[in-house]
Amino acid sequence: MQILIVNIPPEFTDADLKSMFEKFGTVHSAKVGQDKKTGASEGYGIVEMPVKHEARASVDALRGKEVKGKTLRVKILKPDDPFHNTMKSEARGSSGGGQFRGDVSTRGSGALRRGGQRGS
């Protein structure tokens, strides 16, 4: 299961993130999001844990926890989560523009701008 952690301290490394979750079970990977140009932390991370009950336990325990003055927001990522759409667009080279911050999906937005008439 993939877990999204938002509002992590800027000095957090992949190793820090991994060690925080290893207390709850096996961690397959842990990655802090970094700006491609500067290498600075973007304040979020993705942890992948293969065992569902361990992943859920970590989310329950760490959600709302304060770490170095920052309150963590932690959730399990589902395949249709808007965060995945943002990451795909960034991988293609577009800006992404902070779409995750408001949890707003961009799918189908063209139909809404045109009054619900697709293809016009």
Residue 101 lies in a domain: no
The count of domains in the chain is 1
For residue 5, name the pLDDT band (cuts at 50, 70, 90).
very high
- The domain that holds 32 is classified in CATH as 3.30.70.330
CA distances from 113 to 5, 25, 103, 119 (A): 32, 46, 19, 11
Q: Is a pLDDT exceeding 70 seen at residue 100?
A: no
DSSP character at residue 7: S
- The model's pLDDT over 28-78, given as tens digits with 9 standing for 90+, comes to 999 999 998 998 989 999 999 999 999 999 999 999 999 999 999 999 998
Question: What mean pLDDT is reported for the chain?
Answer: 79
Q: Is the pTM of this model over 0.75?
A: no
Residue 81 lies in a domain: yes
Residue 91 lies in a domain: yes
Residue 117 lies in a domain: no
Domain containing 53: what range? Answer: 2-96
Say which residues have a Cβ less than 8 Å from residue 11's Cβ, sequence separation at least 6: 41, 68
